[in-house]
């Protein structure tokens, strides 16, 4: 039996989760994919979820680029601390309200490809060894990559499943209202 490396598993899991995420969106008729659901949560439609992922990819790419250039990146973003992550995520949400779902899908597909290429460009040792790169401090590249790919995609799948369910239930109630 061939044992896969952490890098191979990360790539496979990330691609699988990414495809599952897109399949959830594609399960909704095109004309209904832009619907916003009623919820107290920040993300009210597919676009909100996808642009959240996209922006976190962009932050990862910035951290990576700055770190590999020998700098210590500001994380999570300039003006924010990890303890103020909710404020950062709300700012991300606000920044992308004018983006269409089709634009969001295109942007996310491209950023996913770029992050996957970053992962592929490293050996398994470089990815899993803690403190291999100075900028990751006591951690490893794996923790940054997994948090912004497969783990984040799994979060997004749950969000999109809830949105899809709400949209489908709305279709049922529309059908029931039309038939009575």
pLDDT tens digits, one per residue of 43-66: 999 999 999 999 999 999 999 999
Stretch (H or E) spanning 103: helix 101-120
What pTM value is reported for the model?
A: 0.94
pLDDT at position 170 is 84
**CA pair distance 24, 80, nearest whole angstrom:** 32
Q: Is 153 exposed, middle or buried (0-12, 13-18, 19+ CB in 10 A)?
A: buried
Mean pLDDT of 145-162: 98
Report the 10 Å Cβ neighbour count for 37. 17
pLDDT at position 171 is 63
């Amino acid at each position: 039996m061939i044992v896969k490396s952490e890098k191979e598993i990360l790539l496979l899991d990330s691609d699988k989760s990414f495809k599952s995420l897109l399949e959830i969106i594609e399960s909704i008729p095109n004309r209904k994919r832009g619907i916003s659901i009623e919820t107290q949560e920040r993300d009210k439609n597919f676009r909100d979820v996808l642009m959240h992922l996209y922006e976190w990819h962009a932050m990862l790419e910035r951290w990576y680029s700055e770190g590999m250039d020998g700098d210590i990146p500001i994380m999570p973003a300039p003006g924010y601390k990890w303890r103020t992550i909710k404020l950062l995520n709300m700012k991300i949400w606000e920044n992308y309200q004018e983006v269409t779902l089709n634009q969001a899908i295109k942007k996310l597909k491209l950023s996913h490809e770029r992050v996957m290429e970053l992962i592929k460009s490293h050996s398994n040792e470089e990815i899993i060894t803690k403190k291999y790169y100075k900028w990751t401090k006591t951690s490893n590249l794996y923790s940054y990559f997994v948090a912004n790919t497969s783990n984040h995609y799994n979060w997004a799948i749950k969000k999109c499943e809830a949105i899809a369910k709400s949209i489908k239930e709305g279709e049922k109630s529309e059908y029931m209202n039309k038939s009575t």
